[in-house]
Each structure stands twice: as structure tokens, then as C-alpha cells.
Amino acid sequence: MSSPLLQINDLSYSYHSLTGETYALSHVSFQIQPGEFVAIVGPSGCGKSTLLSLIAGLLTPENGQIVCTSSRIGYMLQRDHLFEWRTIYQNVCLGLEINHCATKEYLTYIDMLLKEYDLDAFRDKYPSELSGGMKQRAALIRTMALKPDLLLLDEPFSALDYQTRLQVSGDICQKIRDANKTALLITHDLSEAISLADRILVLTARPATILDDIGIQLTTTETGPLAARQAPEYGSYFDKLWKELTHGTT
């Protein structure tokens, strides 16, 4: 087995405010291998976003360590956070601008991504002129533009309507796999987790601890979220996850 890209050891975190303390994460440990696509599910408010912010370096662990063999981490949030006053092209180039790396190589890569994500014809449009799915794809290009080795995705599809969500999530995940990236996807949608991930980490209610770590293997000839839902194993994974989230035990 290759060495892990990400190693989380005994991670704990609490928020402190004038009114008190919120214990969000408790002794969380896991590893992610290069190229793995891992989903995280857990009750609302259990500490999922906190975990991602810690991995992204936006928060400092109270206890424990985070070891990532790459410093190239891309973070994509629930809302697309595109700037309305910038065109799509100016939006997707934002990371390069901030990091002072708008070199010919990176700009060529952005051109390639715009074509691949079917947004090339919209590069000079503003976000308000695009559909929700298109904006989400633009946000992903902005994240991918810096060529991250690890992608952190915090409920990136939850602002989309159900039909668009099925299509865009399958599409985006396939692109992430094709590009051989390692990804950590937070979702509250169990079907999405089963159909997209290689592995699912189940968290308990706050403070989050790891309740289960489930490898997903589906027998399908076709790829994509709809095909995955037809796989014979799908139902038993769903039942298991549902019970774990409802009862808080494995």
C-alpha cells in the first residue's frame, strides 16, 4: 500500500466564545490514500465543516495532528461564491491572481478546463447569466485551476435542484476521478455518498467521532449516480448508513 496523502491523528476541536464552548470534534483519526474518493456523512451540526476547515488550515487543531504530503489543497464550498461583478473567466482566474501564478501554463490549463466543462462559450458572461449547475462547474474550475492534489468539497451540490444535482454531481465526480485527484466530499445525501465515493466515513452527532468507515463496492457496468442506484448492493449500504445515522451506533 502506498503512503497516505492525508493522515488525521486524534484530532479534537472546540469553538470558544463569550457565551461558552462548543465541542465540535473529538479524537478523530483516519487516513486517505492518494486517488481515493472519500465521502463524509453525519448529522447536521456534528462538525463536518469544522473538520474540513481544519484540514484546509483555516482552523488550528486543539489536539492531534493533520499530516498532508501535499500543500496543494483545493476547497470548494456549498455556495459557489462567484463574484457577480467578474466575468466567468475573471472568476476562474481569481486563484491564479491571488497566488501570483497566472503563467502561460496555468492559463492554458484554464482554457482546457473551460472547454471540458462546457463553459467556454460563457467565459465572458457574468454569473447571473448562468444556471446553478453552470455556476457550480465554474466554481470547480476555479478550484481545479491551481492543480490541487487534495480536493475538499463541502456539500458542493446542495444548492442545486434534484435533477441538476444528479447530473452535475456525477459529472463533476467523474472529472475529479479522470484527473486522478484525491477528494473528500461532505454530503448529507446518502445516495450521493454511496454512488460517488470509494469509501464513506460516518460521523456521530456532535462532538463528531468516527462511527464507521465503509468501503463501497458496487457491481455496475455503467458509471454515474443513476447506474449506481441500480446496483444490487446499493440498498444494503443505504440501510446500513440510515440505521447508523438514526441510532448513532454501528
Burial (CB count within 10 angstroms: exposed 0-12, middle 13-18, buried 19+), residue 56: middle
**Which of Mg ion, ligand ADP, none is residue 217 near (CB under 5 to 8 Å by kind)?**
none
CB of 22 to Mg ion, least distance (A): 13
Q: Nearer to ligand ADP by C-beta: 17 or 180?
A: 17
**91 near Mg ion (CB under 5 A):** no
CB–CB of 30/184 below 8 Å? no
CB of 45 to Mg ion, least distance (A): 8
CB of 15 to ligand ADP, least distance (A): 3
Cis peptide before 148 (omega within 30 of 0): no
**Which of Mg ion, ligand ADP, none is residue 246 near (CB under 5 to 8 Å by kind)?**
none
Q: Nearer to Mg ion by C-beta: 46 or 211?
A: 46
CB of 42 to Mg ion, least distance (A): 9
Residue 208 is classified by DSSP as B
**Which of ligand ADP, Mg ion, none is residue 60 near (CB under 5 to 8 Å by kind)?**
none
CB of 243 to ligand ADP, least distance (A): 19
Q: Nearer to ligand ADP by C-beta: 15 or 242?
A: 15
**49 near Mg ion (CB under 5 A):** yes
Report the amino acid identity of residue 157. Answer: F
Angle, CA of 115, 117 and 198, to the nearest 5°: 140
Residues of the chain by 3-state class (helix, strand, coil), percent to 5: 40, 25, 35
Interface positions with ligand ADP (CB under 6 A): 15, 17, 22, 24, 42, 44-50, 206
CB–CB of 35/3 below 8 Å? no
Kindly list the strands in the beta sheet with 20-32, ordered across the sheet, starting from the edge strand earlier in the chain.
Answer: 20-32, 6-17, 63-68
CB of 28 to ligand ADP, least distance (A): 12
Burial (CB count within 10 angstroms: exposed 0-12, middle 13-18, buried 19+), residue 187: buried
**182 near Mg ion (CB under 5 A):** no
Q: Nearer to Mg ion by C-beta: 45 or 57?
A: 45
Q: Nearer to ligand ADP by C-beta: 149 or 155?
A: 155
At 196, give phi and psi (nearest 5°). -105, -30
Q: At what angle do helices 132-144 and 162-178 cross, to 10 degrees?
A: 20
Q: Nearer to Mg ion by C-beta: 45 or 235?
A: 45
**Which of ligand ADP, Mg ion, none is residue 45 near (CB under 5 to 8 Å by kind)?**
ligand ADP
* Residue ranges in contact with Mg ion by CB under 5 A: 49
